[in-house]
A and B are shown apart, each in its own frame.
Chain A
Amino acid sequence: MGFSTGEMTRTNRIRRYTSIVTIVVALVAWYLLTTQFHLIPSLFFPSPKDVIDNLVMVRSSIVEHTAYTLGRVLLSYVAGCALGVGIGLLMSRFKAVFGLLEPPIEALRPIPPVALIPFFILWFGIGNFGKILLTGLGCFMVMCITTLEAVRNVPKIYIHAAQSLGATEDHCYRTVVMPAIVPELIPGLRVALAGAFGLMIASELMGAQQGLGFLIMVARRSLNTQTILLGIIIIGLVAFSTDRLLGYLTSRATGWTERVERS
């Protein structure tokens, strides 16, 4: 199932080394441009040293802010995606549910959730609830549409095969449709995760009491670009790690497909 660690092919090795080289080049360029050659003033783009000094300075509170952001993202992601898939499945299975829910969903979907932030702050304040609700809404929309499309794309031949093997419509739905859509849900899950981070940071930027977005917002007021960059780097690392974790979990669930795994 996929490539085992002992079987890294030549293309995978090339990919690995190229990524590492690119990262190293970027880091070196960063150092050189800011520290060695002083081509970029540290206000506009802090040097590596500035960022590290800053990290040491805020190290106790940074963990708390990261935890708030990550915790809220995970909660809204899991709830929003689960609800999105669940509703998507119900809508595919029962025409009445589809008829009932499709109009409000289609009306709400084109609105970028970011645009709703001012209203959410007005209605729910700047605490956890409004942020989780907004980010959850974004995840819900992505997964609901993804699920509906995935069910539509299940090859009819599997349904016919199941029917002529004696499966009732319910049995067919559970044993054929649901396993068949899993590989199609994965792109949606990854997009939803990236979107969740985006929405959470955006809502923290506009009004919060903790979180990485809040940290950036406060630092902006005093033009503390070191903290801003530090915040951005941490967001990037957290988002990257969670995406990787998601990739690992989903590849476990799709061992039966012919997907090409990432190295």
Chain B
Amino acid sequence: MDARAQCPKIEFQKASMTFITPGGPVEAVREIDLKIGENEIVCVVGPSGCGKSTLVNLVAGFILPTGGRVLTDGRPVGKPGADRAVVFQQDSVFPWLTVSKNLEYGPRARGVSVEDRESTVGRLLDLVDLRQFKDMYPRHLSGGMKKRVDLARAYANEPEILLMDEPFGALDVLTKEKMQRDLLRLWREDARTVVFITHDIEEAIFVGHRIVVLTTRPARVSADIKVPFEKELDTRVKTTRPFQELRQQIIDMLE
């Protein structure tokens, strides 16, 4: 058996993270063990403030673990890089660039040729339905549209891992559902490993293949549930029995 194929895409090995704050040391994550396979969409849910974002920051390379290891492809995570794209809850679209220039940012930074850049950007503009806004500045866009740019920009860079930290948390319900479908549609076109943090259980079940439930701070894995049904783009699946039962199961776990 190929040793590489056995290796999970992302792995936390007894990873811990303690922050030094003005108020004293804060233990965000304690000895977490978690494996995420290639092209899996794993949703991480947990009480607010439990350290979910810390997991994303560790994989992204914005912080280093104070204990244990965080590995991607079997190697410890180093500095942030194009292989791990991040979509945050806050707006991180560059306001001084137009929509297409934003989408183009990653490929351009990596030295991709003009033709390849143009075709990638063009494809994504159509996938997230932003072609008519391609030359507009973010200040003219709504929150939902900016999020689409955010998501498309991350995808345009063809990252191996897509890290999403409550990305749709600031959007209204309808826009949120549209974004959830956009994400699944992008994933179907172009599968990647996704780590998706959210406090919205329904969102987690709709989007994820697997749901990891964390405890309150310091975070540890309290449950790891495989979503027993296929991913669907139709949001009516949220009203079906299995969906609602799973939702209740997770809510009970969190209480």
Contact = CB atoms under 8 A, between A and B. Distances in A.
A167 to B, nearest CB: 4
Contacts of B138: 256
Contacts, number: 70
B109 A164 contact: no
B90 interface: yes
A157 B62 CA distance: 11
Contacts of B139: 256-258
A160 B94 CA distance: 12
Given A180-B96, A256-B96, A163 B80 contact: yes
Nearest to A180: B96
Interface string A160-204: 111111111001000110011010000000000000000000000
A226 to B, nearest CB: 50
B9 interface: no
B197 to A, nearest CB: 15
Interface in B83-98: 84-86, 88, 90, 92, 94-97
Interface in B153-172: 153-154, 157, 159, 163
A160 B92 contact: yes
B65 interface: no
What is the predominant secondary structure among interface residues of chain A facing chain B? Answer: helix
Nearest to B81: A166
B137 A256 contact: yes
Contacts of A255: 137
B84 A171 contact: no
B79 interface: yes
Contact of B85 (A157, A165, A180, A182): A165
Given A160-B62, A255-B137, A256-B95, A165 B105 contact: yes
Given A160-B62, A257-B95, A166 B110 contact: yes
Nearest to A161: B92
B148 to A, nearest CB: 15
Contacts of A180: 96
Contacts of A171: 109
B96 A162 contact: no
Interface string B180-200: 000000000000000000000
Given A164-B80, A165-B106, A166-B157, A157 B92 contact: yes
B60 A175 contact: no
A32 to B, nearest CB: 48
Interface in A210-263: 255-258
B48 to A, nearest CB: 20
Contacts of B80: 160, 163-164
Interface of B: 60-62, 79-82, 84-86, 88, 90, 92, 94-97, 105-106, 109-110, 137-139, 153-154, 157, 159, 163
10 smallest beta-carbon distances between A and B, as pairs: A166-B82, A165-B106, A163-B80, A179-B96, A161-B92, A167-B109, A164-B86, A256-B137, A157-B92, A256-B96
9 contacts: A158-B92, A160-B60, A161-B88, A164-B60, A164-B85, A175-B105, A179-B94, A256-B96, A258-B95
Interface of A: 157-158, 160-168, 171, 175-176, 179-180, 182, 255-258
